[in-house]
Structure 1
Amino acid sequence: MNVWIIGGGSVGLLLASYASKAGAHVTVVTNRKEQAEALRKEGVSLLRNSITSLHPVDAIPFENLSVLQTATIIFLAVKEHQVKRVLDKISKLKTNAPIVFLQNGMNHISLMQQLRSTVYVGIVEHGALKQSDVKVEHTGVGSMKIGHVQGKELELQFFWDKLSRFGYSVVVENKWLEVMKKKLIVNAVVNPLTALYEVKNGELLCDEMVVSIMKKLSQEAIIALQVKDGEDIWPYIIQVCQNTKENKSSMLRDIENGNQTEIEAISGYILREGQKHKINLPYTRDVYNKVKQKERSITDG
């Protein structure tokens, strides 16, 4: 099993460590050649429950990506705003391998549907924290929910089972679009607010005013995405915050590191869906504008 993972962030490194642990030959495609060199030399260091394990991987920088014929499966573990650049590169390479998209948000659905490849989506609910170019901590044990989008559905259950046996739970979902919407709503509530207030996930629940805003954001997202039977989403958001109370959201980490956030793929997507249906979303618009302003002040500064 030749597993290619494009993206050397927390999601990519976590998956790479477990895929290697499960016996796959793993190649990580990184943005920086320094990270690729370090991964080839040291492998991925996985920290879980205060225990560190080392897992060998191959690695190349994205600029050197010239062949994918050996890939059995390709995971795209890059930010949503980087997807088009990656797909433009992949389209020039000959590969019949299925592509699994692991992004937050839903902007990339239209890009997926333009491909001729077999396509899957993965909704990652595992918590991961990248500590260095070669070290990742598994901060929250959840699951990766996999859905088949288009193309020939392949016999991949054996690989999902292997990953699950080694501690990276994978669940196959037939209703993948509904799962994506649910994940998007959680992200639209938790990520912008943790970025704005600069708090960990669990701290959102400690302030009644913030909890009130969380409820408004979830209600607006449910309406904009036309989610049926959305009554279980608010308890799910609370559960996520409690289960990941010590985690920093990816959006907060992007703000802290001076990187572009995924606000466009998350709150921006919901706003565009609201415009389609002529729905006013004042709370979503407010956090979107504030995060964009904060993002600009940090990246410009």
Structure 2
Amino acid sequence: MRIGIIGGGSIGLLMAALLAEQGHIITIYVKRVEQKKTINQDGLTIRPYNKVYPVTALLLEDRLTGEDDLVLVCVKQYQLKDIYRFTTNSSFPIIFMQNGMDHVEEIQQLELTNTIILASSEHGAIRVSDSVVNHTGRGQLNMAILAGDSSLLISINHLLTSDNFPIEINENWFYMLANKLIINAVINPITAIFQVNNGQIISNPYLFKLSNLLCNEVCHVLKLEHQEQWKRIMSVATNTKDNKSSMHLDVVKQRRTEIEGILGYIIKQSNGDLPHTLFVYQSIKALEWNYKGK
């Protein structure tokens, strides 16, 4: 397939490398001229395997409608507003791969005629440089259809799935995203506020308690079973105990976080009191405010 990937961050680079490994023709669309030049010159390297894949990099503004058979949108949720104009008046299926759930209503309001697929990735990835990505944890890609031709989802699954790129099809996009959101809603902001690795929400008894209280509130809003989700959070924290969450890294590097699409979404959906959710949300917003110099 001719696959376009919008976004040259960690997930975009990882998806490009894993799909190029299968022999698909990959074009990655980036924002910066420097990244475009680096990828076209050096190829895309995935560590720790140190494999190099020749992929084509273009600036997003150079993208021509109809060139790709499939497009993966791998930018962060708050960057989507700048991307939507490149998805209108086109026919290719689009896979949106964002954390959180705040973007789903936005996508629905666009009234796109494309087949729209939502996806969540269980892979771990850290961008090392403009053309190098570190694959920190293998996982699977979960996909569910939001709108359009459901038979295309089955076809895409058959074309993309492999031993190194497992895919699971979900019948219900809401619960698929909610199951990912609960992980991001607890582990990411707690580790970002307290600047700790993921495992400390288990080993530190105070963070353990705070994380559990936060999990309970988020589960209540999403109508998920608390104990089941808490076990999943503990499992992820254990398996990634030495890792830094993406929000932790965003705060360290003084970048905008995805808190609005994660806990911001939970607050919008709630009709009740969420004291721990509000505390954690406002704490991340305070950190962002500080390093923006406001």
Q: TM-score, normalised by structure 1?
A: 0.92
Specify the alignment match of 1:255 in structure 2: 251
1:280 counterpart SS class: coil
Specify the alignment match of 1:299 in structure 2: 292
Q: Distance in 1 between matches of 2:218 and 2:153?
A: 33
Specify the alignment match of 2:227 in structure 1: 231
1:230 Cα deviation after fit? 4.2
Q: Distance in 2 between matches of 1:2 and 1:111?
A: 27
Aligned match of 1:95 in 90, 93, 99? 90
Specify the alignment match of 1:132 in structure 2: 129
Q: Distance in 2 between matches of 1:203 and 1:279?
A: 29
How does 1:1-301 map onto structure 2 within 5 Å? 1-47=1-47, 50-65=48-63, 67-91=64-88, 94-114=89-109, 115-155=112-152, 157=154, 159-161=156-158, 163-227=160-224, 229-274=225-270, 278-300=271-293
User: What are the ranges of 5 or more consecutive residues in structure 2 without an aligned counterpart?
Assistant: none
The one-letter amino acid of 2:13's match is: L
1:248 Cα deviation after fit? 1.5
User: What are the ranges of 5 or more consecutive residues in structure 1 without an aligned counterpart?
Assistant: none
The one-letter amino acid of 2:133's match is: V
Alpha carbons of structure 1 residues 97 and 19: separation in structure 2 relative to 1, 3 Å? same
**Contact 1:140 1:243 (8 Å CA) reproduced:** no
Superimposed CA distance per residue, residues 195-216 of structure 1 (whole angstroms, 9 cap, x where no aligned partner): 1111111222110110001111
Q: Distance in 2 between matches of 1:19 and 1:266?
A: 28
The one-letter amino acid of 1:51's match is: Y
Q: Distance in 1 between matches of 2:166 and 2:243?
A: 19
1:163 Cα deviation after fit? 4.4
The one-letter amino acid of 1:137's match is: N
Q: Distance in 2 between matches of 1:158 and 1:245?
A: 36
The one-letter amino acid of 1:221's match is: V
1:200 counterpart SS class: coil
Q: TM-score, normalised by structure 2?
A: 0.95
The one-letter amino acid of 1:2's match is: R
Q: Distance in 2 between matches of 1:140 and 1:148?
A: 25
Superimposed CA distance per residue, residues 149-205 of structure 1 (whole angstroms, 9 cap, x where no aligned partner): 111124454653564425122111112211211111111101101111111112221
CA RMSD of aligned residues (A): 1.6
The one-letter amino acid of 1:60's match is: L
The one-letter amino acid of 1:52's match is: N
Q: Distance in 1 between matches of 2:37 and 2:206?
A: 47
1:95 Cα deviation after fit? 2.2
Kindly tell me the number of residue pairs found equivalent between the two proteins: 292
Q: Distance in 2 between matches of 1:88 and 1:52?
A: 36
Superimposed CA distance per residue, residues 28-83 of structure 1 (whole angstroms, 9 cap, x where no aligned partner): 11121110111111121011xx3210111111122333x13121111110010111
**Contact 2:91 2:113 (8 Å CA) reproduced:** no
Q: Distance in 2 between matches of 1:68 and 1:52?
A: 33
2:117 counterpart SS class: strand
